[in-house]
Structure 1
Amino acid sequence: DFSLFCSFGTSCLKQGNFGDIIWFLQSFAHTLQKNFPHFQPEFSLNFLIFFLAGGLPFLRKFKHKEIEAATNGFSAILEAGPGGRAAYRARFADGLVATVRRAGGDGDQDREAFYRELQLLARLNHRHIVRLHGYSDGHSRFLVFDQMENRSLKECLHDPLRTPLNWRTRLQVAIDVAAALEYLYYFCDPPVFHVSVNSSNVMMDANFVAKVRFTVTIVHTCLKHIDRPTEAYEIQQRRRDLVFQYGVLILELVTGQSPGGEGELVQWVQEPGFACTMYKMVDADLGNIYDSKELRNLVIIARLCTRPGNDAMVSIPLILRYLQGKVANLGCESENICELSV
């Protein structure tokens, strides 16, 4: 009986009987893989720890009825996401205001994906990552995140009914997103790769501080221990994709043009004479209220990030230090773009 099996495991952990614990871990992993063939061995152990610990103690576990009441019967829809992953505005009885996101379907494979996502999100702790408050894992599964009062960067840039973002805010968004990406790629072990860096996935809080939200894939092999060339290639390719997408985001911040035209924007910034038209490309909503040197810096970054076929692409940490004024250049002294007049 599965419940008796788990009760025995819990008893082993409490009594510190390590021989029995090892046997139990191995048997439990085998049982999970037998019943759920798509389970991976390393995740079986994580799932076991999650299960025996009664969840994640540093996350709040919500009851379904709490979620339903807080979202007014799931009527306060913020957005209709793919695969049934709708998001709702929620106000809980204790005063917590949050965003509740439905976590996919209800099958066994969806359950595995939910616990993977939950464990990953729970270990992220950064000022520029949308924070996970808690979860509900009943028949329907939900994730509860910080409420982002100013919604997405996309809405801030392209909604004609909203006050346009000023230059200082746009520059700070570029810095905030770079800080989040540096954390995900260089400080998480294993590194976490943002699937899509775009203005829809950059959220703005009440003070217009940018925070990244995302769906993710995990690279299980740490960068220090890569043995297979295919794994190294995959990581390098993901890194290039991330940097390219960040460059496109910079172009959107500067020009105010929607992502639908990103091909034309990339083509423009890669042209030899792009500097001659740089000021004409600035978002008209900004008028002339921007810093020319900071504009130059952002355009240089966008050009380097979106340069085709460049394996030695500029890194996110270097970009961040450059925007923060901690380094004087991006290592491209020989490039004419670094000699742009302002």
Structure 2
Amino acid sequence: MSTPSEPDLSAIVGERRRLINLAYRLLGSLAEAEDAVQETYTRWYAMSRQQQEAIASPGAWLTTVAGRVCLDVLGSARARRERYVGTWIPEPLPDRAEWISGRVGDGRAEPGDPADRITLDESVNMAFLVVLEAMTPAERVAFVLHDVFRYPFAEIADIVGRTPAACRQLASSGRRRIRAARIPTAPAAGQAGLVRHFKEAWESRNIEALVGLLDPDATMTADGGGLVGTVLRPVEGGKSIAQYLIHIADKAPGLELLEHTVNGRPGLVARRAGVPVTVAAFDITDGRIVRIWAVRNPEKLRAWIEDGQIAVRDGGPVGGPCRGTP
């Protein structure tokens, strides 16, 4: 027989998925998002039962607290990322179908708690998240809460500590940044073939094919966090990127390169001895690759690992480069 507290507890716990989705978009890091949500629940359970019952909308309370926690994290994160070795890139996420209890499984495991999954849509593609990183903390919170999660400015004002009119201006500024960045909106399905051709050209050391797939002004950025070797500055120009990739491929024979969905878009995963060591996301415009983000920092790849393995799809793995990859 249910006790009176059970429905309330279920409703509170049921907010977790929405809070994780919000926190990931605000912070660009799954680990930090999980910590922020944990802190939010810690504050809820630290209250007395009378204090909890006095809250008219627990969901709204949790959102407000999570937003404030993320705002504080963003403030401190800006200072930490200034000391970061190389370029900081948001943490890449696997496809929702591959998400097993916070990790990529082998397709045989039962799905994990749906509350732990990130909903993949255009607001988590890598190009979008990278633009969010350029926003001020308040601007990012106001924009994400209003334009992505459709919260009214009156509620956002309570989180950010500014007037609704000021929050409207913050969101408008964030919107201009997004428009200026020309975030791609083409269907992801049409990009899978181009990523596959890129993989094949890289594996076959075909520099002419790589140059043809890359925009002349393309940029490749890598994130090793100082924990693994990688190029510290962006590689600019399609020809330079192709030459760099061929150089890396020659130094890393016999390794696997797999096609996977990365933040809702076609991407690639390189692995050594079954362990993912690089996850690459792509920005594709007008049939050419204009940006490559290669995440090598092992602390950002935990969502891709399950007992040292990664899910294999589309006929299995194909040999390719890994060590020393960007």
| TM-score when normalising by structure 1 | 0.27
| TM-score when normalising by structure 2 | 0.28
Larger radius of gyration: 1
With CA pairs under 8 Å and 6+ residues apart, which has the higher RCO, 1 or 2? 2
